Amino acid sequence: MDLEYNQRNYRDKFGEINNEEFLEIPVLVNVSVIGNNPRLYLFAGPNFGIHDPVDIGILGGIGFSTALSKHIDLFLQAGYVYGLNDLSKWAGVDIVPGAQPFTFYYNYSREIRFQFGFLFGK
């Protein structure tokens, strides 16, 4: 389990650019595919974004790690997040200028992510 700080910029369906900053907690299971050092692994599990509203999704991907020294590892990961809940401000109902009242708009997170870093203190 990790605690991550994220910044996201995206353009919504009305052309407006939105910025978000939030905490994210992925709860992942790693399964080694090849080796111990270097190691190729798959990971998957639920992902919780802590902002308004809470973003719940499934995260999966592939990673590579290798020991740089006795106590330091380098890791590289690529993954995909598939959001499960609607993130619309009004729970799917929004009155937009020029739209019919109570038109439904949905907003689900979809994210490709690349990460690299160091693990200390094995």
Quick check: 122 and 39 in contact, CB under 8 A? no
How far is 20 from 106, CA to CA, in rounded Å? 17
**pLDDT tens digits along 18-65:** 788 889 999 999 999 998 889 999 999 999 988 777 889 999 999 999
How far is 74 from 64, CA to CA, in rounded Å? 8
Please name which of 40, 39, 28 lies closest in space to residue 80, comparing C-alpha atoms: 28
Residue 80 backbone dihedrals phi, psi, to 5 degrees: -135, 135
More confident residue, 14 or 33: 33
Q: Which residues pair with 21 in a beta bridge?
A: 7
Quick check: 81 and 57 in contact, CB under 8 A? yes
**pLDDT tens digits along 68-92:** 999 999 999 999 999 998 776 544 4
